[in-house]
Structure 1
Amino acid sequence: MTKTTPSDLPESAPASPNVLPQVSSPTRRRLLYAGVAGAAAVGGAGLAWWKFQPHAMEAGAEQALWGMEFEKPEGGVVALKSFSGKPLLLNFWATWCPPCVEELPMLNAFYREHAAKGWQVLGLAIDQPSAVRKFLARLPLEFPVGLAGLGGTDLGRSLGNLTGGLPFTVVLGGAGRVLHRKMGQVTPQDLQLWAPLR
């Protein structure tokens, strides 16, 4: 190992025995860029994970939920208190949201299969009433739908969906407590996990 002396340093570098000469090689630059890119990817993945995780619910959100009512697309009102006492899958969706539209037939099949076992499903449409009516004319659902509009976004935020992303699903037990929350599209595995809950 050679010792660096002040005379070995570039002219612009201060003469100090602790300063090492800068070695600039393409390999070293690539490693540095790869390290920075890797750190950015990990940071981005962490931010994405945080963004798509349900956060803490607002105090009293569960109790407030059970007092809410929403208009139905076909007329009349759907009251959340009418769902109390049995497990409820509450799905926030919109007609303009492709993953929402994709999961609706699966949620409908879940409802059809598990309604006799006490399961209930309620879709809350965060959308224009006319768009929801037109959509349901093409794809009828067996479970009830409420027209939540922008108020549904506020409700979702109170339940931990801080970004307002869709779809957002909340599973409530028969006692009225939130058991699970899911940001993003529901999978068949999610439904298998939730089905035994009461």
Structure 2
Amino acid sequence: MQPTKTSPGWIKPVLAAVVIAAAGFGGYLSLNKHQAAPEVTFLSIKGDKISPESLRGKVVMVNFWATSCTTCVGEMPKMVDTYNKFKGQGLEFVAVAMSYDPPNYVLNYAETRQLPFKVALDTDGSAAKAYGNVAMTPTTFVIGKDGKILKRYLGEPDFPALHKLLEESLHG
């Protein structure tokens, strides 16, 4: 019988560190690789369908919000200003009300605030699910002309940075 050789004590921790680093780097790469936006057809409060085809080739903001969300209500005037500033350059905007938001509240809010962009209802939660199980509001996605998600904002966006991203995306 031959004696078994044991590896030095430092091999296992070093191997573990290499595996962890590789996994971390892989996670980093996957986070920085722009994913395609989900193929979701939204239903507007006016009963119109907003299809992925109708948004293709445009820079699009998809904002998940709720009338009961104080941050959402607080940022909405800035969202309106952002849309008004960039709509002439080709920006599309879909404000998607969460499934728990009563449709009559959403309709009332959109009408009384005269929201200038498309407002959609996600009554069954399928849009929020398709966008990565959105639970926190507001959550805003900026989608490039190529249909890939450029940025996801949790909470109120940094508006100067958002405007810079929109400028680059609309004219790049």
TM over 0.5: yes
Matched, 1:140 2:114: yes
Are 1:153 and 2:135 counterparts? no
- Aligned residues, how many? 134
Instruction: Report the TM-score, using the length of structure 1 for normalisation.
Output: 0.61
Q: Is the 8 A contact 1:125 1:152 kept in 2?
A: no
2:145 maps to 174
- Structure 2 portions without partners, runs of 5+: 1-29
Whether the 8 Å contact between 1:99 and 1:167 is mirrored in structure 2 is: yes
Aligned CA RMSD, in angstroms, stands at 2.0
Distance 1:128 1:80, change over 3 A: farther
Structure 1: unaligned runs, 5 residues or longer? 1-55
Amino acid in the other structure paired with 1:82: S
Over the matched positions of the two proteins, sequence identity in percent amounts to 25
1:124 and 2:99 are equivalent in the alignment: no
Which of 102, 109, 122 matches 2:74? Answer: 102
Larger Rg: 1
Moved over 4 A (4+): none
> Quick one: higher RCO (CA 8 Å, sep 6+), 1 or 2?
2
> Could you tell me how far 1:194 is from its partner in structure 2?
1.7
User: Following the alignment from structure 2 to structure 1, what is the Cα–Cα distance between the partners of residues 62 and 128?
Assistant: 13
| Partners of 2:132 and 2:102 in 1: CA distance | 19
Report matched runs for 1:16-165 at 5 Å. 62=36, 65-66=38-39, 68-126=40-98, 127-149=101-123, 150-157=125-132, 161=134, 164-165=135-136
Q: Normalising by structure 2, what TM-score?
A: 0.70
